[in-house]
Structure 1
Amino acid sequence: MTDYDLRTREALRRVVLLEYGFGPETLRGRKICPVCGRAGRADRTHCADCGARLPETTLYDFYRSRHRCCPGCGVVVTEVAVYCPECGTRLPERREAAV
């Protein structure tokens, strides 16, 4: 695969993530209303549907709190990963949870 092919593939992947809402950029731009459950823009303070106050945290903050993520690019990584498969960043060692 040529360098051009790789750059094109990466650009297309980013467009798909933005369009269909699964990428970190999209998650950073959304909040969920705690009352009605509707998704709203992150820059809003109140829900457009029911008027309830939106939380300060975005979907991305919620997502990161429940998954092991790369500190470099934010992609989810497995528990046993040493390097990020997306950007190659060496991952910090995972601490075992206290039982």
Structure 2
Amino acid sequence: MTDYDLRTRRALHRVTLLEYGFGPETLRRRKICLGCGRANSADRTDCADCGARLPEMTLYDFYRSRHRCCPGCGVAVTDVARYCPECGARLPKGAARREAAV
């Protein structure tokens, strides 16, 4: 597979993620109400439906706190990976190290 093919494949993958609402950009713009489960805008502090206080963490922050992620591109990687499968960056040592939850 050529470099052009890989770049095209990655671009199509990102478009698909954005189209269906699962890309990092979408996750950064959403918070989930712990009371009713409604998705709210990240800039809100209270739920639009039930008025409950929203958590400080966006869906992206929550995702990163639960997974080992590449520091370069933010893609989730396995605990044994040495290089990022998406951007090729060398991952820091400490296979089980994850970001602390806020």
Q: RMSD between aligned alpha carbons?
A: 1.9
Runs of 5+ consecutive residues of structure 1 not aligned to the other structure? none
Per the TM alignment, residue 76 of structure 1 is displaced from its structure 2 partner at its CA by: 0.4
Letter in structure 1 aligned against 2:76: V
> Are 1:93 and 2:93 matched, yes or no?
yes
Letter in structure 1 aligned against 2:28: R
Q: Provide runs of 4+ in structure 1 moved above 6 Å.
A: none
Report the number of matched residues. Answer: 97
C-alpha distance in 2 between matches for 1:96 and 1:55 = 26
TM-score, L = length of structure 2: 0.82
C-alpha distance in 2 between matches for 1:48 and 1:15 = 29
String of CA shifts for 1:40-69, please: whole Å, max 9, x gaps.
111222211111121111011111111111
C-alpha distance in 1 between matches for 2:7 and 2:78 = 25
Between the two proteins, what is the percent identity of the paired residues? 80
TM-score, L = length of structure 1: 0.84
| Corresponding residue SS for 1:40 | strand
